[in-house]
Amino acid sequence: MEQIKRWNVAHVYKEKKLLIAINCIASLSIFFFGYDQGVMGGVNNAKGWLGDKIGRIRALAFGAAWAIFGACLQCSAQNHVWMIFARLINGGGTGVLNAVTPVWATETASHKSRGQFVAIEFTLNIGGVFVAYWLEFGLSFIDGGASPIRWRFAIAFQIIPLLVLFIAVWWFPESPRWLAKVGRDEEARYILGRLRGEEGDAAEIEYQDIKHIVELEKRTTHGNTYYHMLFGIGSGDLHTARRVQLVVWLTIMQEWVGIAGVTIYAPTIFRSVGQGISMFLAGGPRLGQNHPEGSTVATSAGAASASFIFIFTSVFGATWLTVPLLYPAEIFPLQVRAKGNAWGVLGWSIGNGWLTLLCPVMFSALGEKTLYIFGACNVLTIPIIWALYPETNHRTLEEMDLLFASKSIWVWDAEKNFALLQEQNPELVQTTHRGHHYEMDRAIKIDSQKPTVGITGDVAAV
């Protein structure tokens, strides 16, 4: 308790008010990311290991300071080489914030409100893009758009939310799960009590749940580097490599459903002329191109294409925008959660960079039929998500190790295995729901007929 400073907001707010305060600060980080995208597009070097090593709060402050330094270098750039290196530096800070912010938010929220709070945060990502676009539009009127202030001020503006984030984050509580992982148990208990309410034993039960999983992960994993995670070396039945593949491809798919093409090449789309359906339909109105510009048919066809693009963007914002950014922060073991979320940032960077380079080629060769490719990608994601990605909604972060314990990659096998593990070891996965205390030193005896979990061995899978 001595390490929780007296000015920490956890002493002032509790339960829902504390969660809202935490998510306001987390949203500021996500707003910066959106603004950075809108201004420059973004070089992103994810540094998730930092959050696992020094804690979520210190990592956020470090990322903000790093990004401020990079932004200062960018807005003072005198040539293209200077700008490239400044952009790389800024991308490092952005990567830290992107890797750690969702993890901090998910680890403080309850399993029932986790998705809601994180989804609200990522709406600020679009808010950041919105502010960047309008600011650049307004600055374009200065000296007919020829003045350097147009881009220097736009880049420098991002320093404002970063400064606020750097100063304010020190007033906020550390993740109780990270505190439990590093052995700061009294602080973890106190923060959980403020987050979940001090009446009853819900906070203590959740704390015991976390500590048991921490012990289990320590005994079942050997090596937590990115290399170990990618190839599953030493992860046993935690199947870390499978989780890495899932989050990388999920965030790549996020870009291939069409949003990268829409956000970067919207003017091209508009000149060329439900989410997957909207992509197919947006590529359809070629009719207008065979009529003179300004004619009734051409105007109607252009309006139809624009309408379908807006429908697509609306559906994307409610679904594919938030879930691929939340999922990586949920499914990884506590020991490597920030590193795991960094893999999601890597996948996003690959998908975004891939399409940024490929879109001009596709639009040049295929024209509006490029949108058919995006529509087909939407259709292909349906069986992939259904068959390979287990549901995490309303499940605790501690249950994820059991959810991914199956040796099979298929969702239906994972769900069957998870149900059996729950039945055999209710104290491991249902303490939050049942209000039942369990002892940390208790070993679960292994029944040869059914799968079990014990803190002295690996997670057993069907």
pLDDT tens per residue across all 462 residues of the chain: 557 888 888 888 888 889 888 888 888 888 887 777 656 554 455 566 788 889 999 999 999 999 999 999 998 888 888 888 888 888 888 888 888 998 998 999 888 878 777 777 767 777 787 788 788 778 888 887 677 888 888 889 999 999 999 999 999 999 999 999 999 999 999 999 999 887 778 888 888 889 888 888 888 777 788 899 999 888 888 999 999 999 999 999 998 998 877 765 555 555 554 455 545 555 544 444 444 444 454 455 556 666 777 777 778 877 888 888 889 999 999 989 989 998 998 898 898 888 878 888 988 898 778 888 988 999 999 999 999 999 998 888 989 999 999 999 999 999 999 999 888 877 665 544 554 443 333 333 334 344 444 433 454 433
Reduce the DSSP state of residue 391 to 3 states and report it. coil
Q: In terms of Cα–Cα distance, which of 49, 41, 124 is closest to 325?
A: 124
Q: What is the CA radius of gyration of the chain?
A: 24
Cα(163)–Cα(61) distance, integer angstroms: 10
Residue 91 has which token pair?
A: 């991308």
Q: Give the residue extent of every domain in the chain.
A: 9-174, 240-388
- The beta strand positions in 218-355, using DSSP E, are none
Output DSSP code: residue 48: H
Cα(198)–Cα(161) distance, integer angstroms: 33
Determine whether domain 9-174 maps to CATH 1.20.1250.20: yes
In one-letter notation, the amino acid at residue 220 is T
For 132, residues 6+ apart whose C-beta sits below 8 A from its C-beta are 34, 35, 36, 37, 38, 39, 154
Given this model, what pLDDT does residue 442 score? 37
In one-letter notation, the amino acid at residue 96 is V
CA torsion sign for 215, 217, 221, 223 is negative
Given this model, what pLDDT does residue 142 score? 83
Cα(162)–Cα(9) distance, integer angstroms: 20
CATH of 240-388, one of 1.20.120.1200, 3.30.450.40, 1.10.10.10, 1.20.1250.20: 1.20.1250.20
Question: CA geometry: angle at 8 spanning 6 and 12, to 5°?
Answer: 95
CB atoms within 10 A of CB 79: 7
Instruction: Give the pLDDT confidence of 205-235 residue by residue, as tens digits.
Output: 888 889 888 888 888 777 788 899 999 888 8
Task: Transcribe 403-442 into DSSP letters.
Answer: HT--SS-SHHHHHHHHHHHHHH-HHHH-HHHHT----TTP
Check for a shared fold between 9-174 and 240-388.
yes
107 strand-pairing partners: none
Cα(428)–Cα(396) distance, integer angstroms: 11
Tell me the whole-structure pTM to 2 decimals: 0.77
Given this model, what pLDDT does residue 124 score? 77
